[in-house]
């Protein structure tokens, strides 16, 4: 722990949503003090952070003052503008590092990176215009999904092509942004593995969770996932492969499709991940503390799971269920302190524990 920050050190977090909020709480458990940088008003993370800077990502003075006020910088989302990162990095270390952001900010770069490691992905092709989309359709077939290369999340920035005739409409949906066409994969279910790598290169993985989505948004994660022992081993090895290749520091979420012929990497997220929220009530060290441990140079927790857990997201009006959920044994609530309930908005989650 020679490079380790000591309790009392300051951690800067880019992004003030629920992930930043839970990172801030985890940091406080280890005695660290947090500073949130967030352009939007009333960020949930600020309610449990020591300091808040409200400024856009192109405010160089605010970025500089933020960086100077902390000892290390991390983030809750991957779409941070490159210029902001350049400026911040000149002042303080950013963990996970730039390479992870470069790769994961662009679906095309990410898929090429994963294939370069010998990992399986869905078939894909670069799409820049109608001509390249039609070529891609010939190559990959339909049904397929057109996805913007950048700034997609929770099913946003995606259009489904049922048949080649859908090409033009799908491209219009994307507002002609650079995209990839992705072929459908026949999979039985989706799992994700939350993996961490320390400053010293140590890797620790949480048990894979099985994900169910609704309307393009994660609905539940169940641990243990349905995986054969060799699939579980594969998941851990491929996650370690990705982390090592990126010289990664922090927690990463890796989404995987389970198919008869093996695991296929759907996507990676260089941050704590919604499908890792179960760790809050299933492990001694959860994904948020694990991430903080990594970015401050502490030893990682071992990721051991002590309980079976089903995590369920509370989206929009699901908040009406809170009074009933509060009465249930073995239900641990985690609400995000968001002022306004909106359809599709992640308002909280709960972990139902089975021992």
From residue 238, how far is each of 107, 231, 263 by CA, in Å?
Answer: 18, 10, 9
Measure the CA angle with vertex 31, ends 28 and 34; round to 5°: 50
d(Cα 326, Cα 321) in Å, to the nearest integer?
9
Nearest approach, Cβ of residue 298 and a copy of itself (Å): 5
Q: Which is nearer to a copy of itself, 44 or 183 (CB)?
A: 44
Quick check: helix, strand or coil at residue 341?
coil
Nearest approach, Cβ of residue 351 and a copy of itself (Å): 8
Nearest approach, Cβ of residue 223 and a copy of itself (Å): 16
Q: Which is nearer to a copy of itself, 147 or 277 (CB)?
A: 277
Among 306, 317, 342, 344, binds a copy of itself (CB under 8 A): 306
Q: Is 206 in the site for a copy of itself (CB under 8 A)?
A: no
Site string for a copy of itself, 242-281 (x = CB under 8 A): ---------------------------------------x
Q: 35 with 52: CB under 8 angstroms?
A: yes
Q: Which of residues 279-298 bind a copy of itself (CB under 8 A)?
A: 281, 284-285, 293, 298
Question: How many CB atoms within 10 Å of residue 188?
Answer: 9
CA atoms within a 13 Å half-sphere pointing along the CA-CB vector of 241: 16
Q: Is 3 in the site for a copy of itself (CB under 8 A)?
A: no
Q: Is 70 in the site for a copy of itself (CB under 8 A)?
A: no
Q: Is 56 in the site for a copy of itself (CB under 8 A)?
A: no
Q: Is 111 in the site for a copy of itself (CB under 8 A)?
A: no
Among 11, 49, 100, 159, binds a copy of itself (CB under 8 A): 49
Q: Is 116 in the site for a copy of itself (CB under 8 A)?
A: no
- For residue 18, the surrounding DSSP H or E stretch is helix 18-29
d(Cα 184, Cα 200) in Å, to the nearest integer?
38
d(Cα 41, Cα 183) in Å, to the nearest integer?
39
Nearest approach, Cβ of residue 304 and a copy of itself (Å): 7
Nearest approach, Cβ of residue 70 and a copy of itself (Å): 14
- For residue 13, the surrounding DSSP H or E stretch is strand 10-14
d(Cα 171, Cα 331) in Å, to the nearest integer?
44
Among 5, 34, 149, 221, binds a copy of itself (CB under 8 A): 34
Nearest approach, Cβ of residue 6 and a copy of itself (Å): 8
d(Cα 272, Cα 74) in Å, to the nearest integer?
11
Residue of 159, 155, 287 whose CA lies nearest to 221? 287
Among 79, 299, 316, 345, binds a copy of itself (CB under 8 A): 299
Q: Which is nearer to a copy of itself, 50 or 173 (CB)?
A: 50
Quick check: helix, strand or coil at residue 61?
helix
Q: Which of residues 307-346 bind a copy of itself (CB under 8 A)?
A: 307, 319, 322-323, 326-327, 329-337, 339
The crossing angle, in degrees rounded to 10, of helices 60-68 and 82-89 is: 40
Residue of 124, 132, 209 whose CA lies nearest to 176? 132
By the criterion CB under 8 A, which residues form the site for a copy of itself? 1, 4, 7-8, 21, 24-25, 28-34, 46-50, 281, 284-285, 293, 298-299, 301-302, 304, 306-307, 319, 322-323, 326-327, 329-337, 339, 348, 353, 355
């Amino acid at each position: 722990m020679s490079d380790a920050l000591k309790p009392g050190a300051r951690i800067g977090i880019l992004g003030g949503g629920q992930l930043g909020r839970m990172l801030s709480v985890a940091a406080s458990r280890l005695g660290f003090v947090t500073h949130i940088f967030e352009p939007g008003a009333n960020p949930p993370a600020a309610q449990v952070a020591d300091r808040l800077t409200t400024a856009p990502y192109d405010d160089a003075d605010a970025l500089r003052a933020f960086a100077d006020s902390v000892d290390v910088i991390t983030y809750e989302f991957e779409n941070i503008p490159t210029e902001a990162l350049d400026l911040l990095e000149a002042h303080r270390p950013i963990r996970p590092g730039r390479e992870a952001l470069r790769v994961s900010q662009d679906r095309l770069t990410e898929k090429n990176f994963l294939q370069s490691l010998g990992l399986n992905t869905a078939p894909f092709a670069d799409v820049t215009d109608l001509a390249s989309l039609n070529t891609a359709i010939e190559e990959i077939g339909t049904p397929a999904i057109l996805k913007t290369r950048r700034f997609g999340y929770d099913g946003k920035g995606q259009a489904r092509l049922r048949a080649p005739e859908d090409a033009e409409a799908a491209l219009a949906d994307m507002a002609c942004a650079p995209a990839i066409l992705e072929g459908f994969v026949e999979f039985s279910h989706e799992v994700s593995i939350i993996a961490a790598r320390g400053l010293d290169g140590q890797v620790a993985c949480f048990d894979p969770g099985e994900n169910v989505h609704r309307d393009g948004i994660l609905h539940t994660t169940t641990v243990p996932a349905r995986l054969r022992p060799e699939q579980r081993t594969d998941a851990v090895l491929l996650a370690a492969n990705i982390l090592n290749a990126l010289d990664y520091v922090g927690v990463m979420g890796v989404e995987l499709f389970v198919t008869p012929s093996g695991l296929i990497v759907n996507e990676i997220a260089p941050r704590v991940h919604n499908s890792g929220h179960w760790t809050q009530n299933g492990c001694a060290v959860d994904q948020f503390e694990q991430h903080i441990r990594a970015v401050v140079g502490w030893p990682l927790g071992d990721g051991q799971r002590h309980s079976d857990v089903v995590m369920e997201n509370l989206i929009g009006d699901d908040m009406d269920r809170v009074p009933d959920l509060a009465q249930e044994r073995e239900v641990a609530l985690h609400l995000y302190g968001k002022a306004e309930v909106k359809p599709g908005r992640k308002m909280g989650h709960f972990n139902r524990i089975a021992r």
